[in-house]
């Protein structure tokens, strides 16, 4: 069983790995940019290579053999087990192509994985062939989903260019995400921190440049509520930002009494230092339940996937 094999730090052969990536890429390539899904469904935020926490998450969220899952991206980087995360999710996707859905996050691209550690992890555990196969697989991932016709789920957030949902279908997703525009914003945008968000802002001010990310925008309450109104939606479900409790309900829409934005983050004790909880959203009969979980211990990995022997040489030679 792949799950327990990976859990024991086992590897898949390079051939099996490439075969799995290829088979999943064929499936995801045929999915639309915007998925239309119905509950019951479990929605999952960032995982960031935290394989041992993903195992816990699948316990909490429901058995993937019988549970519909929507993952909002950021499977890779930061944690040391991104390949294991992807192989397990891909195996589940292959077994349940119409029950498990994988969206693209801002880390599922060449630029981020080269800057952070996923590219190095591929080189260390396999080679660049596997890395390039993963990059093509990432290019094929859908960008967003609508649940029950009422909730827009995506990785990052809204865009000043996005007026109606059908525009998402017009994006050419089979490429490295650009540094600006609709495609970029869906993966990168953040809701404005409420303390900074003046509810009475004029519509022009409802998007401000995102100086924290260095690209995309912050979208304010007025931007979110106008967009939801115009499209007959209740809320935006997104990931992309670490939360101490694993989730955050952003400003309540005065008309509906429902949060305009819900952030969900599924990597507990993020980077081994944040001490945050992870959470998943469970949708059933139009009701929303949030389930939190704590981190699980994982094998210790040295920086850049060195082994202990290589790592200790500098200390020995200094003596």
Question: Which range among 81-85, 133-137, 179-183, 197-201 shows the weakest confidence by mean pLDDT?
Answer: 197-201
More confident residue, 200 or 134: 134
Q: Could you read off the pLDDT of 200-258 as tens digits, one per residue? A: 555 555 899 999 999 999 999 999 999 999 999 999 999 999 999 999 999 999 888 99
Closest CA to 239 of 195, 184, 278: 278
* Active-site residue identified among 48, 107, 155, 298: 107
Separation CA 233–CA 149 (nearest Å) = 7
With a cut of 80, say whether residue 295 has pLDDT above it: yes
Angle (CA) 179 182 188, round 5°: 60
Q: Quick check: is 48 catalytic?
A: no
Helix or strand (DSSP H, E) at 263: strand 261-264
Beta sheet of 151-154, edge-to-edge order: 34-37, 144-147, 151-154, 235-238, 261-264, 247-249
Q: Can you give the pLDDT at residue 198?
A: 55
- DSSP for 30-89, written as a single string: TS-SEEEE-SSEEEE-B-TT-HHHHHHHHHHH--TTT--EEE-S--SSSSS-HHHHHHHH
* Pairing verdict, β 151-154 and 287-293: unpaired
**Nearest in space to 159 (alpha carbons), one of 174, 142, 144:** 144
Q: What whole-number distance in Å separates Cα of residue 63 and Cα of residue 194?
A: 36
Cα 162 versus chain centre, distance: 20
How many CB atoms are located within 10 Å of the residue 203 CB? 10
pTM of the model: 0.93
pLDDT of residue 227: 97
| Greatest Cα pair distance in the chain | 70
Domains, the chain, with CATH or none? 2-318 (3.60.21.10)
Residues 6+ apart with CB under 8 A from 81: 49, 50, 51, 52, 298
Residue 315 pLDDT grade (very low, low, confident, very high; cuts 50, 70, 90): low
In tens, the pLDDT along 91-103 reads: 999 999 999 999 9
Residue 272 tokens read as: 């081994």
Q: What is the pLDDT of residues 143-201, one digit of tens each?
A: 999 999 999 999 999 999 999 999 999 999 999 999 999 999 999 999 998 776 555 55
User: Is there a contact between 268 and 53 (Cβ–Cβ < 8 Å)?
Assistant: yes
Backbone region of residue 285 per phi and psi (left: phi > 0; alpha: psi in -120 to 50; beta: other values): left
């Amino acid at each position: 069983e792949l799950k327990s094999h990976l859990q024991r730090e086992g590897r898949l052969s390079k051939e099996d790995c490439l075969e799995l990536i290829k088979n999943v890429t064929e499936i995801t390539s045929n999915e639309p940019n915007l998925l239309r899904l119905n509950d019951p469904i479990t929605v999952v935020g960032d995982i960031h290579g935290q394989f041992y926490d993903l195992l816990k998450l699948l316990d909490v969220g429901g058995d993937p053999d019988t549970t519909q899952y929507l993952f909002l991206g950021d499977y890779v980087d930061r944690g040391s087990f991104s390949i294991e995360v992807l192989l397990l999710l891909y195996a589940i996707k292959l077994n349940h192509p119409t029950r498990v859905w994988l969206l693209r996050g801002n880390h599922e691209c060449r630029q981020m994985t080269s800057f952070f550690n996923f590219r190095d992890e591929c080189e260390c555990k396999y080679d660049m062939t596997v890395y390039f196969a993963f990059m093509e697989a990432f290019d094929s991932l859908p960008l967003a989903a609508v649940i029950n016709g009422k909730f827009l789920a995506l990785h990052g957030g809204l865009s000043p260019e996005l007026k109606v949902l059908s525009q998402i279908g017009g994006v050419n997703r089979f490429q490295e995400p650009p540094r600006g525009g609709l495609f970029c914003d869906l993966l990168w945008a953040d809701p404005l921190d409420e303390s900074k968000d003046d509810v009475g802002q004029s519509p022009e001010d409802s998007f401000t440049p995102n100086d924290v990310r260095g690209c995309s925008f912050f979208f304010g309450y007025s931007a979110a509520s106008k967009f939801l109104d115009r499209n007959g939606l209740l809320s935006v479900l997104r990931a992309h930002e670490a939360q101490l409790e694993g989730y955050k309900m952003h400003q309540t829409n005065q008309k509906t009494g429902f949060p305009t934005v819900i952030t969900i983050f599924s990597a507990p004790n993020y980077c081994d230092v944040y001490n945050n909880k992870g959470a998943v959203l469970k949708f059933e009969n139009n009701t929303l339940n949030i389930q939190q979980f704590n981190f699980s211990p994982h094998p210790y990995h040295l920086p850049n996937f060195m082994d202990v022997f290589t790592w200790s040489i500098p200390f020995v030679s200094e003596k």
